C-alpha cells in the first residue's frame, strides 16, 4: 500500500521536529556552560539558568583567572602530546594487525580477533587497580608509558574496525605487488595503508575524542605531575571541596574548542569510513 504525499510530508515534519528537539537537548548543557562562564560564581549558584546581567557579567575574568590557576598552556601541551602520539600509535599498529588478521586466515588469527573483540566489552573499572600496579612496576607511569596503555585500550575497537574494512581491499592488488617483488612491509605502507585511509581517519577521530577528554586513565597513571586538561580542571577543587564554578566553566569551554573543531573538520570521514567497508566484498 503506497503512502500519500501528505503522509510522507507529515512524517518528514515530525522527524524534523523530533531531531531538532534532540539536538537542542544535547546542546543545552554546552550552552549553559558557555553562558555561565561569563558570570560570577555566586550568581551561577543562585541562578544557573539566568542570562548574564549587568551585575553578574564578569567579561573574560573567569577565562583569564581559570587559565592561570590550572596552568592551562602546560596542560594543553601534555594533552596534545599524549593525544597525538597515542592516536598515531593506535592507527599504525591496529591497521597492521587488522590487515594481518584478515589476510592470514588461520586458527590463531581468528582467536586473536575474538580476543580483540572481547577487549571492547571489558569495563575499565574492572582492571584499573591492577593496571595502576602493573604500570608502576613496569615504569609506565609517565607520559611515554601512558601511550602504551592507551594502545592497549584503544586497540580492541580499532582492530575490529580495520578488520571489517580490510576485507573490502582487493587481494589481487596485493598479489600483483608480490609478483613485482614488493616486500610485505613495503606492500603495507605503499599499497594497503593508503587504501585504508578512510577507516584510518575514522579510527583517529574516535580515539582522539576519547583520549583528549579522558580523565581517569591519566589521573591514575601519571597523576598530578603531568596534568592533562581534564586532570587540571579537576584540581580547581580545593581540599575542602569548594570550587570556583566560574573558573571551571571557562576552562571547560577553552578545553573543548580544539576537539570540537577537529571533529567538525573531520566528521564527514566518520560516516565515509564506517560505510565504505560495508558496501563492498
Q: Domain range spanning residue 192? A: 61-276
Contacts of 65 (CB under 8 A, 6+ apart): 244, 247
d(Cα 156, Cα 199) in Å, to the nearest integer? Answer: 15
Q: The whole model's pTM is what?
A: 0.85
Q: Are residues 179 and 235 in the same domain?
A: yes
Specify the pLDDT at position 272: 63
Specify the pLDDT at position 174: 84
Question: In 63-86, which positions are buried (b, 16+ CB within 10 angstroms) versus exposed (e)?
Answer: bebbbebbebeebbebbeebbebb
CATH of residue 221: 1.10.3720.10
Q: Are residues 105 and 202 in the same domain?
A: yes
Q: Are residues 132 and 53 in the same domain?
A: no
Specify the pLDDT at position 40: 86
Half-sphere exposure of 230 (CA within 13 A, CB side): 17
Asked if 204 and 161 touch (Cβ cutoff 8 Å), the reply is no
d(Cα 17, Cα 3) in Å, to the nearest integer? Answer: 20
d(Cα 87, Cα 115) in Å, to the nearest integer? Answer: 21
Low-confidence ranges of the chain (pLDDT < 70): 1-8, 238-241, 270-281
Flag whether 10 is in a domain: no
Specify the pLDDT at position 3: 57
How many CB atoms neighbour CB 184 within 10 A? 15
Q: Are residues 272 and 185 in the same domain?
A: yes
Flag whether 156 is in a domain: yes
pLDDT in tens, 54-74: 888 888 888 999 899 889 999
Report which of 248, 246, 276, 197 is spatially closest to residue 45, judged by C-alpha positions. 246
Q: Are residues 179 and 204 in the same domain?
A: yes
Mean pLDDT, the chain, rounded, equals: 85
Amino acid at each position: 500500500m503506497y503512502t500519500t504525499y501528505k503522509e510522507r510530508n507529515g512524517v518528514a515534519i515530525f522527524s524534523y521536529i523530533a531531531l531538532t528537539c534532540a539536538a537542542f537537548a544535547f546542546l543545552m548543557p554546552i550552552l549553559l556552560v558557555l553562558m555561565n562562564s561569563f558570570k560570577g560564581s555566586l550568581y551561577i549558584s543562585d541562578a544557573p539558568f539566568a542570562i548574564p546581567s549587568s551585575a553578574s557579567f564578569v567579561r573574560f575574568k573567569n577565562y583569564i583567572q581559570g587559565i592561570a590557576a590550572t596552568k592551562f598552556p602546560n596542560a594543553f601541551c601534555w594533552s596534545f602530546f599524549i593525544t597525538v602520539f597515542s592516536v598515531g600509535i593506535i592507527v599504525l599498529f591496529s591497521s597492521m594487525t587488522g590487515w594481518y588478521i584478515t589476510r592470514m586466515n588461520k586458527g590463531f588469527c581468528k582467536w586473536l580477533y575474538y580476543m580483540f573483540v572481547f577487549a571492547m566489552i571489558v569495563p575499565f573499572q574492572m582492571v584499573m587497580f591492577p593496571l595502576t600496579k602493573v604500570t608502576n612496576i613496569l615504569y609506565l607511569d609517565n607520559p611515554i608509558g601512558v601511550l602504551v596503555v592507551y594502545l592497549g585500550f584503544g586497540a580492541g575497537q580499532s582492530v575490529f574496525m580495520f578488520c571489517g574494512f580490510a576485507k573490502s581491499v582487493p587481494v589481487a592488488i596485493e598479489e600483483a605487488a608480490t609478483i613485482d617483488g614488493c616486500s610485505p612491509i613495503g606492500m603495507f605502507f605503499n599499497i594497503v595503508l593508503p587504501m585504508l585511509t578512510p577507516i584510518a581517519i575514522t579510527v583517529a577521530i574516535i580515539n582522539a575524542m576519547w583520549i583528549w577528554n579522558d580523565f581517569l586513565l591519566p589521573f591514575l597513571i601519571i597523576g598530578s605531575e603531568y596534568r592533562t586538561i581534564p586532570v587540571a580542571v579537576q584540581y580547581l577543587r580545593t581540599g575542602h571541596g569548594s570550587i570556583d564554578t566560574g573558573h571551571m566553566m571557562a576552562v571547560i569551554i577553552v578545553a573543548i574548542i580544539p576537539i570540537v573543531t577537529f571533529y567538525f573538520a573531520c566528521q564527514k570521514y566518520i560516516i565515509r569510513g564506517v560505510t565504505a567497508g560495508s558496501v563492498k566484498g
